[in-house]
Structure formats: structure tokens, C-alpha cells
């Protein structure tokens, strides 16, 4: 007879992945327990990541528009200094409003038990919480991740900020030095520069956003530089040390020369580490690395009844990926279906202005895989709505394979994250360029850029010399007549 456990499903972690699993399992009738080590649900995204960063970006955007008033035919406005405490209070209010959706009571109403504290494995079906042992048939590890500090001499002793502290500052930094060149670095760099801080961004790669295609990333880099962000690219960090007057000195080497910058605040934004410490994974026989859990395509660990989802996977560190993985785990852990995670069409977006969004393969990835046949580029300069709104920089790029198959899209421009949505649907549903190009969209909209890009290959075929010759023979068309005829 099969052993009866106290719970059918035990979820460790109350972030996006854990909440998805807990709500799904409870609503399907599984006896479910959700354990969160922090004193509140919502995870890093709600409290220290996606939500506060987008709230900060919105405030920075509003102030930036004030500075651009003259461009829109309005009287010039001198933006006053920013009271960051007021900005912080707005961020906290936004978080609090969303927190209601992630309240423990909501999940309890769905049928899940919710507890807070540090849980650790004491067996492959059992954890210990506050001195009490709890067992479950299926266990899901969704404990998220934290900022990874670079291994630089003097950094820990000098002190630095991460995404956990940057949104709760009492005052605007006079000079913020950011270590990193990825999404967090560029978003925070632009936001704080727009709010009035001096910003220096120190990046080891010779370009920003090194994962993205260079032509897309270059548009973001150019905008940051134009807005006053000091970009120190190709910089190898050497040391961090206290500077005069409470500043922090960051020393690095570029092009064989040693440079240094003094900042009042230092933000570490160079990657993430999975939150696996203290879980006692060895007691459960769960294999893991420094990067994260070792999982199969069904998101099962080395113990098939223990699953992983969210940032503990060590890859695809996005909230929407965590939610998707939570759904895969519900299918496997609760419904016992062999569903596999498929990341081929997983979108991502960087919320600078202009935004940068990618769905599917980049040009570089398609080229490396030997699948690239053609690239289609449509600039925002040809989009009437973008020109009307003073946001005509950037482009939409389609990556095409054999027979014009859409492999991916990269968009850098206004509302790129929103404009990527129909392409995510097209890739997931196997829709062709003809469907995208044939859609009737309202004018003038930014979305027309995707329609025009999709229509380019079709237009070249339709209006080709071959088609003209066929129509001349079949229908007697004579082409363009002489001038004045």
C-alpha cells in the first residue's frame, strides 16, 4: 500500500513560480502547503525587482518628458530636484496594491496552507520547519535567486547596493556607479540619470546587452550616452576601496590603462545566484550546481518527485518564465502528465527607453545554428505614429529561415515589449508572415511596424519582374506610359 503523506504537494518559495504551483495544485484538489522564508508572499519580482523597477522607470519617464517639453511645442520646463523619498513612497504604494493579490488569505481561500519560515530537507519527502517535520508526496523547489556580487577585492568591505536596497534609498544618489551591462544595469542607469543623478556604468564586455544582436543593443547604448550616462565599456574591474568624503572608488583597466571613478553609491548588477543555500538538498539527494538545480525537460530534479521552477533553474530568469514553469510543474506533479518545458519562443524585454524585446531566435543564434536565410528590417522612422510621438528611433527586425519561416523577431523602439506580443503568438501558433501582413490594424499605431516588416518579403515577390511579365502576357497590361501621355 502506498504511503500516505501529510501533504500531496509541498511548495518551497512564494514567488511567481511557487504561487503558480500552489494555486494550481490547491484548485485541483491536492492538499497543498506553501512555505515562504520571507515574511510576505510575492517574491523578489514584487518587492525588489520587476514591480519597483517599472514604477521607478515610470517616474523617471515622467520627469524626462518635462525636460522635453520644448520638443512638443510647449514652453520649456525646468525640472526641479527630485525628492527620492517621495519617489520611494510611490514605489511602496504600487507594491502594496499588488501585494493584495498575493496575500496569504487568497491562497488559503483557494485551499492551500501557507506558512512562513526557513524550511530545510531532512529526507527526500520531508522538510523541517520551526522544529517540526512535514512530509509530502511531491515537493517543488521555487526559492528564487539573489543578486550576485562580482569577485572584486575590497567590494564587500567597502559596501554596495543590490536590487534589494536600491529602491528604498532615502535620497537620490549624487553619483551612482553601476557594475554591469545587462538589463538591470541599463534600466537603473537610465532611470537614475533621468531623475538627476550622475551615472557611470562599468561593464566588462565591450558593449552593453551582450546577449542581444549588436544592431539592437547599439540603439539602447546610444540613447543612454545621449542622456548623460557615462559608459565605461571593456572594463576589467581591479578593486573597490573607500574614497574621500564617504565615496567609493572603483578601479578598472581599459585598453591596457588603469582608470578609476569615484561614486557616492555603488550598485552591483552582474547576474544572479540561485537561493539554494540552507535547503539541505544533499539530505534529499537532489543534485545541483553553483548555477542552480539540475533538471530534466519536465523540470524534475535527480529525485523524480522533487521539481524545480523559477530562478532556481539557473536560466531564463524572468517572472513570466517562472509562471510558465509553474504551469509545467503543475502538469507533472499534480496531473502526472509528461509535459516538457519549451523555451524556443520565450520572450524577453528590456524596459529602457527605447525598449528592446526579443522573441525566438536572434540573428546571431540563427546564424550560428545554420538556419538563417534572410533578415528583414523595418525602421521606426517610417512609422507615422512613432514620428508623431517623437519616438522614431529604433527598428523591427525579423529573422527568417527556409521558405520564409519566421524564426524570431527583435524590436528596439517605443513599446517594444507590447509590439512583440503578436510575434510571440505567431511563433507559438506557427503562423506565417502572410497572416501577420494580412491583418488589418488601426492607423496610426506603432503595431503597424510589425505588419510592414512581415509584408516586405511578400511585397518583393508580388511586385517582382516575373509577376509583371506574367500579367503582361495574361492580361495585356502595358506598364507605365510615356511622360504626359
Residue corresponding to grid cell 585598453: 255
Q: Which three cell numbers stand for residue 150?
A: 562580482
CATH number of the domain located at residue range(s) 348-465 in this protein: 3.30.390.30
**Rounded distance between C-alpha atoms, residue 80 and residue 440, angstroms:** 44
Q: Which three cell numbers stand for residue 403?
A: 521558405
The sign of the torsion formed by the CA atoms of 378, 382, 383, 389 equals positive
Query: What are the distances in angstroms from CA 353 to CA 131, 189, 299, 396, 408?
Result: 50, 11, 35, 15, 22
pLDDT at site 482 = 61
Helix, strand or coil for residue 71?
helix
pLDDT at site 481 = 63
- Looking at 13-166, list the stretches that DSSP marks H as alpha helix, in order from N- to C-terminal side: 16-27, 43-48, 50-67, 84-99, 104-110, 155-158
**Rounded distance between C-alpha atoms, residue 114 and residue 11, angstroms:** 10
The count of other CB atoms within 10 Å of the CB of residue 110 is 14
pLDDT at site 1 = 47
**Dihedral of the alpha carbons of 307, 313, 319, 324, in degrees to the nearest 10:** -50
Query: Which pTM was predicted?
Result: 0.94
Q: Which three cell numbers stand for residue 452?
A: 510592414
**Rounded distance between C-alpha atoms, residue 269 and residue 267, angstroms:** 6
Please state the domain extents for the chain.
7-41+103-147+273-334, 155-270, 348-465
pLDDT, one tens digit for every residue, the chain (485 residues): 468 899 999 999 999 999 999 999 999 999 999 999 999 999 999 999 999 999 999 999 999 999 999 999 999 988 889 999 999 999 999 999 999 999 999 999 999 999 999 999 999 999 999 999 999 999 999 999 999 988 999 999 999 999 999 999 999 999 999 999 999 999 999 999 999 999 999 999 999 999 999 999 999 999 999 999 999 999 999 999 999 999 999 999 999 999 999 999 999 999 899 999 999 999 999 999 999 999 999 999 999 999 999 999 999 999 999 999 999 999 999 999 999 999 999 999 999 999 999 999 999 999 999 999 999 999 999 999 999 999 999 999 999 999 999 999 999 999 999 999 999 999 999 999 999 999 999 999 999 999 999 999 988 888 888 888 888 888 888 887 665 54
Q: Do domains 7-41+103-147+273-334 and 155-270 have the same CATH topology?
A: yes
Residue corresponding to grid cell 527583435: 410
Residue 374: beta bridge partners?
A: 400
CB 158 within 8 A of CB 263: no
Q: Following DSSP, what letter does each residue of 147-174 receive, concatenated?
A: EPPP--TTHHHH--B-TTTGGG-SS--S
Question: What topology is assigned to 7-41+103-147+273-334 in CATH?
Answer: FAD/NAD(P)-binding domain (3.50.50)
Quick one: DSSP state of residue 91?
A: H
pLDDT at site 381 = 97
* Kind and range of the H or E run holding 127: strand 126-129
CB 431 within 8 A of CB 437: no
pLDDT at site 184 = 97
**Dihedral of the alpha carbons of 66, 69, 70, 73, in degrees to the nearest 10:** -170
CATH superfamily assigned to domain 155-270:
FAD/NAD(P)-binding domain (3.50.50.60)
Q: What is the edge-to-edge ordering of all strands in the sheet holding 265-268?
A: 230-232, 198-202, 175-179, 265-268
- Looking at 227-312, list the stretches that DSSP marks H as alpha helix, in order from N- to C-terminal side: 281-284
Amino acid at each position: 500500500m502506498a504511503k500516505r503523506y501529510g501533504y500531496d504537494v509541498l511548495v518551497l518559495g512564494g514567488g511567481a513560480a511557487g504561487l503558480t504551483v500552489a494555486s494550481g495544485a490547491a484548485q485541483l484538489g491536492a492538499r497543498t502547503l506553501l512555505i515562504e522564508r520571507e515574511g510576505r508572499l510575492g517574491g523578489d519580482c514584487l518587492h525588489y525587482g520587476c514591480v519597483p523597477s517599472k514604477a521607478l522607470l515610470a517616474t523617471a519617464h515622467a520627469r524626462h518628458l518635462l525636460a522635453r517639453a520644448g520638443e512638443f511645442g510647449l514652453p520649456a520646463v525646468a525640472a526641479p530636484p527630485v525628492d527620492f523619498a517621495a519617489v520611494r513612497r510611490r514605489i511602496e504604494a504600487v507594491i502594496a496594491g499588488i501585494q493584495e493579490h498575493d496575500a496569504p488569505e487568497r491562497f488559503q481561500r483557494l485551499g492551500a496552507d501557507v506558512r512562513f519560515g526557513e524550511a530545510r530537507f531532512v529526507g527526500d519527502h520531508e522538510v523541517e520547519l520551526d522544529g517540526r517535520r512535514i512530509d509530502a508526496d511531491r515537493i517543488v523547489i521555487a526559492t528564487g535567486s539573489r543578486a550576485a556580487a562580482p569577485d572584486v577585492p575590497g567590494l564587500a568591505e567597502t559596501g554596495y547596493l543590490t536590487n534589494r536596497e536600491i529602491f528604498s534609498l532615502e535620497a537620490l544618489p549624487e553619483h551612482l556607479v553601476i557594475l554591469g551591462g545587462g538589463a538591470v544595469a541599463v534600466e537603473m542607469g537610465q532611470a537614475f540619470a533621468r531623475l538627476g543623478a550622475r551615472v557611470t556604468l562599468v561593464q566588462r564586455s565591450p558593449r552593453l546587452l551582450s546577449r542581444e544582436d549588436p544592431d539592437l543593443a547599439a540603439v539602447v547604448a546610444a540613447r543612454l550616452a545621449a542622456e548623460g550616462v557615462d559608459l565605461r565599456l571593456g572594463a576589467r574591474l581591479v578593486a573597490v576601496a573607500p574614497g574621500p568624503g564617504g565615496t567609493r572608488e572603483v578601479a578598472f583597466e581599459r585598453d591596457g590603462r588603469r582608470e578609476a571613478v569615484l561614486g557616492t553609491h555603488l550598485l552591483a548588477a552582474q547576474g544572479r545566484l540561485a537561493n539554494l543555500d540552507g535547503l539541505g538538498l544533499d539530505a534529499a539527494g537532489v543534485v545541483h550546481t553553483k548555477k542552480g538545480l539540475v533538471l530534466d525537460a519536465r523540470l524534475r530534479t535527480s529525485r523524480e518527485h522533487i521539481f524545480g521552477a523559477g530562478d532556481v533553474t539557473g536560466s531564463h530568469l524572468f517572472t513570466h518564465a517562472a509562471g510558465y514553469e509553474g504551469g509545467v510543474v503543475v502538469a507533472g506533479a499534480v496531473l502526472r502528465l509528461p509535459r516538457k518545458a519549451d523555451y524556443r519562443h520565450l520572450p524577453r524585454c528590456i524596459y529602457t527607453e527605447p525598449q528592446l524585446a526579443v522573441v525566438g531566435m536572434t540573428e546571431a543564434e540563427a546564424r550560428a545554428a545554420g538556419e538563417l536565410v534572410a533578415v528583414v528590417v523595418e525602421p521606426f522612422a517610417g512609422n507615422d505614429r512613432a514620428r508623431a510621438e517623437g519616438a522614431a528611433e529604433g527598428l523591427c527586425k525579423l529573422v527568417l529561415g527556409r521558405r520564409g519561416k519566421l524564426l524570431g523577431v527583435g524590436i528596439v523602439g517605443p513599446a517594444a515589449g507590447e509590439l512583440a506580443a503578436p510575434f510571440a503568438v505567431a511563433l507559438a501558433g506557427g503562423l506565417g508572415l502572410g497572416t501577420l501582413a494580412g491583418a488589418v490594424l488601426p492607423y496610426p499605431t506603432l503595431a503597424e511596424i510589425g505588419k510592414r516588416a512581415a509584408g516586405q518579403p511578400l511585397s518583393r515577390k508580388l511586385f517582382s519582374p516575373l509577376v509583371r511579365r506574367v500579367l503582361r502576357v495574361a492580361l495585356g497590361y502595358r506598364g507605365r506610359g510615356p511622360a504626359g501621355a
